């Protein structure tokens, strides 16, 4: 469903350049929950933002559902709002002056979908039901808890029926108890929906608990790509062993 080939990206900074991505390649099958795990600065967000179209890589290719959305060779760069993706960030990025319904409906009225009001009503109802928020449609979002606000952000992304859902540190603004509860919920929901998900986290436990496959990143490179059991029990090198070891 998602294929990334040899993605590279450097940033110019005051004292030279930072190689944020140094040739990242991977494939995510339909319905898989894929997790980028690594310390801060290892390139996880740059990889995710490149898939979203929010970052312009220097080199490589990105395919979603077989269609090319970025290719340096072929000179293809499809803008973010024309990519079949949904995005959930760490900061919920919900609109505080709108209620739950409007937060979810807003992107459906514009951009890729431009749906009619009747369709929007059905679609918003569906996702609210899916996330157990049916009663909350008309609640102002500022009256919701952090966990509920994050669920609104997720509902908004799901309402677009994306081919790939991208989540960048979706839980890290929440308190630890809630994070632990939501990890399992998040994984189960995506599996239920058979939604292809790419998730970024620096939290080892979160990655091990949610990912079907985990790419461990170090300085712009994937240093191990495996299922959670293999990553945990058979780290391929010292870096992965240490990073996973830090968990305890």
Contact set with ligand ADP (CB under 6 A) = 11, 13, 18, 20, 38, 40-46
Closest distance to ligand ADP from the beta carbon of 140 (Å): 32
Closest-CA residue to 201 (of 50, 36, 84, 15): 36
As measured in angstroms, the least distance from the Cβ of 237 to ligand ADP is 18
Which of 160, 165, 171, 164 is closest to 202 using CA atoms?
171
C-beta of 61 vs 218, nearer to ligand ADP: 218
| Beta strands in 120-220, from DSSP E residues, in sequence order | 164-168, 196-201, 213-218
Instruction: Give the residue with the Cβ less far from ligand ADP, 108 or 216.
Output: 216
What's the alpha-carbon Rg for the chain, to the nearest Å? 18
Residue 58 beta carbon to ligand ADP: minimum distance, rounded to whole angstroms = 12
In the complex with ligand ADP, the residue whose CB is nearer, 47 or 120, is 47
- What are the residues facing 17 on neighbouring strands? 12
> What's the CA angle centered on 168, arms 160 and 67, to 5 degrees?
50
Nearest distance from C-beta of residue 112 to ligand ADP, angstroms: 25
Find the shortest distance in angstroms from Cβ 41 to ligand ADP. Answer: 4
Cβ-based nearer residue to ligand ADP, 35 or 46: 46
Instruction: Tell me how far CA of residue 46 lies from CA of 9, 161, 226, in angstroms.
Output: 8, 23, 21
Contacts 24+ apart (CB under 8 A), 187-192: 187/33, 189/130, 189/131, 190/33, 190/165, 191/31, 191/33
Instruction: Output 72 or 172, the one with its CB closest to ligand ADP.
Output: 172
């Amino acid at each position: 469903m998602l294929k990334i080939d040899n993605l590279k990206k450097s940033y110019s900074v005051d004292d030279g350049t930072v190689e944020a991505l140094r040739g990242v390649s991977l494939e995510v099958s339909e319905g898989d929950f894929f997790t980028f795990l690594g310390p801060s600065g290892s390139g996880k967000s740059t990889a995710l933002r490149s898939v979203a179209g929010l970052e312009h890589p220097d080199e490589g290719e990105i395919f979603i559902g077989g269609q090319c959305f970025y290719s340096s060779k072929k000179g293809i760069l499809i803008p973010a709002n024309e990519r079949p993706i949904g995005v959930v960030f760490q900061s919920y990025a919900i609109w505080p002056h709108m209620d739950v319904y409007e937060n979810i409906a807003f992107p459906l009225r514009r951009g890729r979908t431009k749906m009619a009001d009747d369709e929007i009503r059905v679609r918003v109802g569906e996702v609210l039901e899916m996330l157990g928020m049916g009663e909350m449609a008309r609640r102002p979002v500022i009256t919701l808890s952090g966990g509920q606000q994050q669920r609104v952000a997720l509902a908004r992304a799901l309402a677009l029926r994306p081919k790939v859902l991208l989540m960048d540190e979706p839980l890290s603004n929440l308190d630890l108890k809630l994070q632990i509860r939501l990890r399992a919920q998040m994984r189960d929901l995506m599996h239920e929906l058979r939604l292809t998900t790419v998730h970024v986290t620096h939290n080892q436990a979160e990655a091990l608990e949610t990912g079907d496959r985990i790419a461990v990143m170090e300085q712009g490179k994937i240093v191990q790509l495996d299922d959670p059991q293999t990553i945990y029990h058979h780290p391929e090198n010292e870096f992965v062993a240490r990073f996973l070891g830090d968990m305890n």
